[in-house]
């Protein structure tokens, strides 16, 4: 089924500009035991065979409860954690088997923005040197030849781009507010002129009003530089505002994926329905009608692989087959895919993965 989906989709995307294609990507962490001689006694199946595609200009939201594997998935894309299996095609090349040296030009194109602007910036470095650091490293490793004054003027340009006065380049992180620090993090991520920015909870640690400023900055940068984003966030209202596509993860798997408005207006997977039912609606009439769907029980530990649907234990709509059969992600419309047997009778299986 996977093959049918891939071939069909590749045919279609020849017209659009596909940047990233993730196929059956899995990430596992070993569970170690023993005091002196550590041995692996099991695995955390943090990401279990996820697939998605990013086209140029996409802002893909990755949502799901804490521990569902969002950060592991994002980090494995930039090889910060090793993938167990699968493929990550960047502009057509599978980057997972590439050596460090072969990865250099690609690493430049995919940058991450992290959650905590307090701990992700080195307190002993000035703002200017934090922003310039990737330029120095890249210059050295790729034997490029940017002069010191070119780097200094690039730093000033980057600071202006993210709304920081270039006069602050000699200040240290503790002299900035949380929002300003996140701007430094963003300037640093932009320094090598990337194509894809992976923002992992980039605004979660900030006050609401500051969050809005940073989100608006990210949107503006996206428009100005035609950037593509993977945007990981807990706040679903923020995800709805900034993204054009959303993938919903549960226990390492993507259970539903679609255009943001389609998915928010017509969630199909019982997990997505429950998750989205907790988001307030701005329209007071609709808000008064909003029914919360409670999620029963806890997220099970990801220390085993599931034979059937990952949501089986907590699903109010579960059926016998869900226990032992894995629901494939089926394409409901061009822009909406769901992995749930409740909906499979309505689709053409040639489009499933
Ligand atoms: N370095 C690691 N070693 C072992 N287990 C890990 C490691 N990093 C993450 N995990 C486990 O992998 C699973 C997925 O974690 P991950 O951080 O990817 O989830 P997340 O969706 O980003 O969660 P959050 O929303 O809290 O950031 C969790 O069970 C987590 O405990
Ligand atoms: Mg995370």
Identify the pLDDT of residue 9. Answer: 38
- Inside any domain, residue 171: yes
Residue 139 in any domain: the answer is yes
pLDDT digits (tens, 9 = 90+) for 211-236: 999 999 999 999 999 999 999 998 89
Q: Does the pLDDT value for residue 16 go beyond 90?
A: no
- Supply 270's token pair: 């019982």
Quote the pTM value: 0.90
SS3 state of residue 268: coil
Q: Does ligand 1 lie within 6 Å of residue 252's CB atom?
A: no
Q: Any bridge partners for residue 346, and if so which?
A: none
Ligand 1 centroid distance, CA of 144 (Å)? 36
Question: Could you tell me the sign of the dihedral formed by the alpha carbons of 100, 106, 107, 112, in that order?
Answer: negative
Give the pLDDT confidence score for residue 2 in this predicted structure.
36
Whether residue 348 has pLDDT greater than 90? no
CATH assignment of the domain containing 178 = 3.40.50.300
Q: Is 64 inside any structural domain?
A: no
- The mean predicted confidence, pLDDT, of the chain is 89
pLDDT at 234: 85
What pLDDT is attached to residue 14?
Answer: 43
∠ Cα 96 45 118 (to 5°): 75
Residue 172 lies in a domain: yes
Residue 350 vs residue 156, higher pLDDT:
156
* Structural domain harbouring 172: 98-234
CA nearest ligand 1 atom 5, residue: 29
Number of domains in the chain: 1
Residue 191 placed within a domain: yes
3 within domain boundaries: no
- Between CA 159 and CA 168 the distance in angstroms is 9
In a domain, 201, yes or no: yes
Whether 277 is in a domain gets the answer: no
* pLDDT(172) > 70: yes
Distance from the alpha carbon of residue 204 to the mean position of ligand 2, in angstroms:
11
Confidence at residue 3, expressed as pLDDT on a 0 to 100 scale: 31
Q: Is the pLDDT of residue 143 over 90?
A: no
End-to-end alpha-carbon separation of the chain, Å?
5
């Amino acid at each position: 089924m996977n093959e049918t989906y891939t071939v069909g989709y590749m045919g279609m995307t020849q017209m659009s500009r596909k940047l990233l294609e993730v196929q059956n990507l899995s990430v596992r962490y070993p569970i170690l035991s023993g005091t002196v001689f550590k041995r692996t006694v099991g695995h955390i199946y943090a990401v279990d065979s996820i697939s998605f595609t990013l086209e140029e200009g996409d802002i893909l939201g990755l949502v799901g409860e804490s521990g569902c594997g969002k950060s592991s998935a994002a980090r494995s894309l930039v090889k910060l954690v090793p993938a167990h299996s699968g493929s990550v095609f960047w502009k057509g090349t599978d980057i997972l088997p590439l050596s460090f040296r072969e990865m250099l030009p690609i690493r430049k194109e995919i940058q991450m923005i992290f959650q905590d602007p307090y701990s992700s910036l080195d307190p002993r470095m000035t703002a200017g040197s934090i922003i310039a650091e990737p330029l120095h490293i890249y210059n050295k490793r790729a034997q490029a030849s940017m002069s010191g004054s070119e780097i200094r003027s690039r730093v000033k340009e980057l600071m202006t781009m993210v709304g920081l006065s270039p006069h602050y380049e000699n200040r240290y992180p503790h002299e900035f507010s949380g929002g300003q620090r996140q701007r430094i993090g963003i300037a640093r991520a932009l320094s090598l002129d990337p194509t894809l920015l992976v923002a992992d909870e980039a605004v979660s640690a900030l006050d609401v009003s500051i969050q809005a400023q940073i989100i608006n900055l990210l949107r503006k940068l996206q428009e100005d530089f035609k950037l593509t984003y993977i945007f990981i966030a807990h706040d679903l209202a923020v995800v709805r505002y900034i993204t054009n596509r959303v993938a919903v993860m549960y226990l390492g798997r993507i259970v539903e994926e679609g255009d943001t408005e389609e998915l928010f207006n017509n969630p199909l997977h019982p997990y997505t329905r429950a998750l989205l039912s907790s988001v307030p609606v701005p329209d007071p009439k609709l808000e008064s009608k909003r029914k919360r769907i409670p999620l029963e029980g806890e997220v099970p530990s990801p220390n085993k692989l599931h034979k059937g649907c990952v949501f089986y234990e907590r699903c109010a709509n579960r059926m016998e087959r869900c226990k032992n059969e894995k629901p494939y992600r089926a394409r409901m419309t061009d822009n909406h895919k769901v992995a749930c047997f409740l909906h499979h009778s309505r689709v053409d299986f040639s489009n499933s993965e």
